[in-house]
Chains A and B, each alone.
Chain A
Amino acid sequence: MKLSEIVRLTGGTVVCGERHIDENVDYAFASDLMSDVLTLRITDFLLITGLANVQAMRTAEMSDLKYLLFARGKQVTDDMVELADENGIMIISTPYSVFRTSGILYGAGLKPVY
């Protein structure tokens, strides 16, 4: 699924990493627990989370993941954007909840990691 489609379906906005908008991603994982994210072996997935802080960015960095979607319209700080830019990570923000976001994207064909 194209990242542009993910943005459209979730009523989202691109916070940074606009250059990834035409890329494709097949898998997604939703969690607020960063240790859970760190157990994943794959790197090419979208992380959907309600945990908007520097540790979510660091977790993305360590996991080599490129796409982060923050749910519930959480505030993305300048520190987070700086880390995202440094590591080539795209941040999308949606006003929808993690549950609603996940349901929409799953229904549209984005595959679960498990």
Chain B
Amino acid sequence: MTLQFNVEGGDFARAGYASSQIKKILKEIGVDPDVIKHVVVALYEAEVNIVAHAYHGVITADIEKEGIRIVLDDAGPGIPDIPRAMERGYSTASPEVREMGFGAGMGLPNMKDNTDSLDIESVVGKGTKVTMYNKFE
């Protein structure tokens, strides 16, 4: 099963909608609640990142028998230094993002902690592609 969602940069009112929809489907098909929590925490952080930093993005989730692969592909400023962005506490978020309860440099580390694999490719001035995978067992 493949699901796709568009995410608009700056649309904080809708941030989390895709994560919410994917969570509902994982519940419906009977995925373990602990696994669902890991998936949606990582996904929600990534979705908020698109809203916070990019112009727009597409989230594609492939649900297979053994696990879920989610690709978040955005058009945005890109990440100049990925290892630095992965450091806990490093953030380039705007004051607006901080007012939303994010932007403390915990998003990418949280994503890594909650996925079985996390891959980030980024081109400065073009955008970022995040691929995450979680096994169901």
Q: List residues of chain A with CB under 8 Å of any chain B CB.
A: 32-36, 38-39, 43, 51, 53-56, 58-59, 61-64, 79
Contact yes or no, B44 A62, CB < 8 A: yes
Q: Is B41 among interface residues, defined by CB-CB distance under 8 A? A: yes
Closest to A43 in B: B37
Contacts A34-B102, A55-B101 given: A63-B16 contact, CB under 8 Å? no
A residues less than 8 Å from B12 (CB atoms):
53-55
Q: Which of B16, B33, B113 contacts A55 (CB 8 A)?
A: B16
- Closest CB of chain A to B102's CB: distance in Å? 6
Contact yes or no, A58 B106, CB < 8 A: no
B residues less than 8 Å from A53 (CB atoms):
12, 100-101
B residues less than 8 Å from A39 (CB atoms):
106, 110, 113
Q: Which of B13, B100, B106 contacts A79 (CB 8 A)?
A: B13
Q: Is B48 among interface residues, defined by CB-CB distance under 8 A? A: yes
Q: Is B50 among interface residues, defined by CB-CB distance under 8 A? A: no
12 A-B contacts, Cβ less than 8 Å apart? A32-B101, A34-B101, A35-B106, A38-B106, A43-B37, A54-B15, A55-B12, A55-B101, A58-B19, A59-B101, A62-B19, A62-B41
Contacts A55-B100, A55-B101 given: A64-B33 contact, CB under 8 Å? yes
A residues less than 8 Å from B48 (CB atoms):
55
Additional A-B contact list (15), CB under 8 Å, known A33-B102, A34-B102, A39-B106: A35-B45, A35-B107, A36-B104, A38-B41, A51-B101, A54-B12, A54-B16, A55-B15, A55-B48, A58-B20, A61-B16, A61-B23, A62-B16, A62-B23, A63-B41
A52 to B89, CA, bound (A): 23
A54 to B99, CA, bound (A): 12
Interface residues of B in 21-68 (CB under 8 A from A): 23, 33, 37, 40-41, 44-45, 48
Contact yes or no, A58 B13, CB < 8 A: no
Contact yes or no, A56 B101, CB < 8 A: yes
What string of 1s and 0s marks CB contacts (under 8 Å) between B3-20 and chain A? 000000000110110011
Contact yes or no, B44 A38, CB < 8 A: yes
A32 to B19, CA, bound (A): 21
